[in-house]
Amino acid sequence: MKKTAIVTGGTGALGSAVARKFAELGYDVHVTSLFEAEVNAWQGPGRGHAVDLSNLDAVRAFARGFGEVHALALCAGGYAGAEIAQLTSADLEGMMTINYKTASYCLAAFASNLVAGSAAIVVGSQAYEGAAGSAPYAASKAACVSLARSAALEWKQRNVRVNAVLPDTLDTPANRRAMPNADFDRWSRPEQVADVIAWLCSPEAAVVSGNAIKVGK
């Protein structure tokens, strides 16, 4: 029987690389996007699903469509900068929703699907330690790290592992457009981060849980 992998935000730059890696390893892959059009256009491996991850009822309904899940990669998220002095409630709510709430709801909804030996990965960011001009984003990613560690402690006796993976700036077309003068050679490729995520979900990483693992050059 094939193992099942769920990759949220699976149509994005990192999520699609993670989906391809799991497919290469023989998993039955399912990816999510908020947008029906992206799901319909999905040409990657596995099956696409349109799911509003900010709606707990919707995520629970999605999770009920699966039996055992062996790898849960929470790649959904987003970025928006905001200076602290000009902070609005929308800035904070937006970042907490797209990054922290979506990850929390997915862990809650899939808790019973994750079986002994399974692993969940919460994708955070190295900005969780603080980032000038991006306080709401940094705070949301710090919450993701705490979430992963809390889940790892709760599920330790079930032998379900949870780790946070913290990429630095990823070498994506969007980031190159946003930062055209950056040294792209110093950025990690999504495929490199996908390799780390896949390893953390493998039997070889059976003793690795509750960690915040930085990935970058």
Band of the pLDDT at 169, cuts 50, 70, 90? confident
Cross-strand bridge partners of residue 123: 165
**At a CB cut-off of 8 Å and minimum separation 6, what does 207 contact?**
none
What dihedral do alpha carbons 19, 25, 26, 30 form, nearest 10°? -20
Q: How confident is the model at residue 173 (pLDDT cuts 50, 70, 90)?
A: confident
Residue 122: C-alpha distances to residues 56, 90, 151, 200, 211 (Å): 17, 23, 10, 11, 10
CB-CB neighbours of 43 under 10 Å: 7
**SS3 at position 82:** strand
Mean pLDDT of 78-89: 92
Q: pLDDT for 190-205, tens place per residue? A: 999 999 999 999 999 9
User: Hey, what domains does the chain have and what are their CATH numbers?
Assistant: 4-215 (3.40.50.720)
Measured CA to CA, the distance from residue 159 to residue 152 in angstroms comes to 9
Distance, CA of 57 to CA of 92 (rounded, Å):
23
For residue 175, give the amino acid letter. Answer: N
Block residue for tokens 């929390």: 104
Contact 136, 87 (CB under 8 A): yes
Q: How many CB atoms lie within 10 A of CB 196?
A: 20
Which residues, in sequence order, are bridge partners of residue 188?
A: 170
Under 8 Å between Cβ of 15 and 76 = yes
pTM: 0.95
Identify the residue whose tokens are 């797209």.
Answer: 98
Per-residue confidence (pLDDT) for residue 216, from 0 to 100: 85
Query: How far is residue 25's CA from residue 7's CA, in Å, rounded to a whole number?
Result: 14
* Cα distance between residue 217 and residue 22, in whole Å: 23
Q: State the helix-helix crossing angle for 102-110 and 135-154, rounded to 10 degrees.
A: 20
pLDDT tens across 33-63, in order? 999 999 999 988 899 999 999 999 999 999 9
